[in-house]
Each structure stands twice: as structure tokens, then as C-alpha cells.
Structure 1
Amino acid sequence: MRNKKSQAVLARLKQITGTKTDAALSSALKISPQTLSSWKGRDSTPYSICIDIARTKGISLDWLLLGEGPMLRQLPNDTRDDTSERTLQESTVLALWRRLKEEDRVVVQSVLEDKRRLRDLELKLEQMSANLSALQQSDQG
């Protein structure tokens, strides 16, 4: 990539990886700081790394390389059916999940597990309330 566009690509890579500095970005990309510095000096970024990141994180290459369109990759329109909305939502959630740092993933998973436990307790409470109501009605009748 040439024409100073690599700076914009590197900025978007920082956004995707949740990094703010060149050192943090090089660590996130698993490259040496010297390699990143070399890319900046030559005003180039290897497409292969961009493609790998886009694929693993569900990011649109148009957005990553050109800054155009939505950040997250979309499903093709010809796959639309009754489940397409759910599939698109799941893909979006998965893409966002992949962008999280591991410690944030742990927090999100914990919150989701707490939510599931609360839902289970609410269902049990509803069942117990229904049973109590039925017992009270049978005692009165």
C-alpha cells in the first residue's frame, strides 16, 4: 500500500486490536517493533496481515484497507431466509467478541452466565408461585 494510506490502515488496525501505541500494535500483530517501523518508513503494510486480521475478527477488508463501508463484514444478500437476521446478528456478535481482549471476554462471559442463572431462578420462582397458588386453591375448595 502506498500514498500515505498505510498510516490510515495502521490507525484502523489499532482500533481493531484495541491498541493505542505502535509498540502495543506490534505486540498485538505479533511482529517486532522494527518491522512496524519499517512499514511506516516505507509507507506500506502487507496485505497478508490485513487479510488474516479481517478474516479472524470478522472485519470488512473495504473498511480496513480503504476506510469505506461498515467495519464488520456483512453476509451476502442472497443467503437471506428466515434465519438470516439471527445469523447476521450472531456474526456481528462473534466479530465483536473477537475484537475483545481476553480479560474483557472473561467479564462478558461471566455476565452472560449470571444472566442465565437469574433466568433459571426466575423460572423456578414462577413454578413455585404457581404450585403455591394451586395449593392455596385446593385448601380453600
Structure 2
Amino acid sequence: MRTDQVKMTPFDYQGGKLVTDRLHEILGTRTIRELGEKLDVSASTIATWHKRELCPFEIVLRAHMYTGASLKWLTLGEGEPFPNRESQKHQSKRLETKFLFDIDSFNITRGKLVNLKTLTFDKSYLNDIEVANPMAIRDGGNTYIVDKENQQAISGTYLIDMDGLLSLNDIQRLPGKKLAISFNGSTLTVDEDEVRVVGRVALVMEKC
């Protein structure tokens, strides 16, 4: 039969969570929030795809163009995600450069933040260490990545505001809503509400 006589009837496209699970697999994301950030779409939009079992064709096409993933696999679940492995590796490098993240960096002078130039990070690495809202503090030869979403002091190194002055300090929570704060080798015990926690240090990079 001649191909020009064959009707091109629609495929039975899959949608909803089936498609977003495949997007997670090729993009290296784990949550709806991460997927939304990577694709520049809202979480509510993704929730609508799930609720109505929609196939987000533009998103699927975009993912295919960036990663080389198979359209048939993305939309129908047929075949392999990357039939041509060499092509996939090459395209993945392009995708990684697409999702770099600029972090504001500062040093602390007389208890105040002083702006420095931004630092650029791979967004997927920040996701791996579960940093949602990062900033960087440079102190001597070290750079501290602080997660400003983590503002409840439990145990670790924190950026704190005490009497309007900022500093990096080790903190250990004690019973009775008390905090033990280390200052240059000595320890001060204070009430929890005497200190404002700006964020917790998630990563320390030492200068070689």
C-alpha cells in the first residue's frame, strides 16, 4: 500500500504522571518543585497535567531537543529513552550548562554583610545537598554555602544575627529552648528567642 494512501490517525498518547515520571528520569529531578524549576513551569501546571492526564507536548518536545530522549518513549512509553547513547551523553552536557545557578556571596565585616561577586553553581548539585535558598559567605580561605530556608537551630554551623550583628557560629540545641553557641572556643548559652538564625551552613569549601 502506498504511504500517501495511509491515514495518519492519532497515536494513543500517554499523559499525566506517566510522562512526568519519564521527565524526572531524563532530567535528574525528584520532586514536582525541582521539575517545575528546571522546565520553568509552575507546580500547579504540573498538578493539572496529573489531574487531567494531559500530555504536555511542548514540554516533551523541549526535553527531547535538549536531551535527545526519544519522543516515542516520552509520549507512548515505547522503546528506550536513549536509543543512541553517544548522542544522549553529548546532549546531557548541553543540558547541564543550561541550569547553572548564581549565588550571591558576601563577607562579614564588623557584623555586617558586604557584597562580593556572585558564585555560579550547578543547580543539580544544590538539589543533591538539599539547599533550597542559598547564599555564600567567604571567610578567610573558606567559602560557606548557607541555606536560608533552614532557620531552626538544632546542631551545626549557622549564620546568626545577635543584636543586629551577623556571625558564623557552631550551635547545639539544649533542653528548655536553649542554644549553646560557640564563640572563639568559649560557649555561651542563650534563650532561643535571643538569636535570629539566618540560615544553616550546608557546605564548606576550603581553599587549597
Match of 2:21 among 11, 17, 28: 11
Matched residue count: 92
Instruction: Kindly provide the amino acid, as one letter, of the partner of residue 42 in structure 1.
Output: R
Q: Per-residue deviation at 1:10?
A: 0.6
Counterpart contact for 1:63–1:71, Cα < 8 Å: yes
Counterpart of 2:89 (choices 93, 101, 106) is 93
Q: Distance in 2 between matches of 1:43 and 1:58?
A: 24
The match for 2:75 among 65, 68, 71 is: 65
CA RMSD of aligned residues (A): 3.0
The equivalent of 1:24 in structure 2 is 34
Deviation sequence 1:65-123 (CA, Å, 0-9, x none): 1222121254xxxxxxxxxxxxx83x243133245465399xxxxxxxxxxxxxxxxxx
Aligned to 1:118: none
Q: Quick one: distance in 1 between partners of 2:14 and 2:60? A: 16
2:61 pairs with one of 25, 33, 51? 51
Q: Which protein has the bigger strand share? A: 2
1:34–1:92 Cα change, 3 Å: closer
- Give me the identity figure in percent: 29
| TM-score of the aligned structures, taking structure 1 as reference length | 0.53
Larger helix percent: 1
Residues 1-54 of structure 1, C-alpha deviations (whole Å, 9 max, x = no match): 988742111100011111111111111110011111111111113211101110
Distance (Å, rounded) in 1 between the aligned partners of 2:74 and 2:51: 20
* Residue pair 1:59, 1:95 contacting (<8 A) in 2 also: no
> How far apart, CA to CA, are the structure 2 residues paired with 1:25 and 1:104?
12
Question: Against the structure 1 CA distance between its residues 4 and 61, is the aligned structure 2 distance closer, same or farther, given a 3 Å change threshold?
Answer: closer
TM-score (norm 2): 0.38
- In structure 2, the partner of 1:131 is none
When residues 64 and 99 of structure 1 are mapped into structure 2, their CA distance, relative to the original with a 3 A threshold, is: farther
Decide whether the 8 Å contact of 1:58 with 1:72 is kept in 2: yes
Moved over 6 A (4+): 1-4
Higher relative contact order (CA 8 A, sep 6+): 1
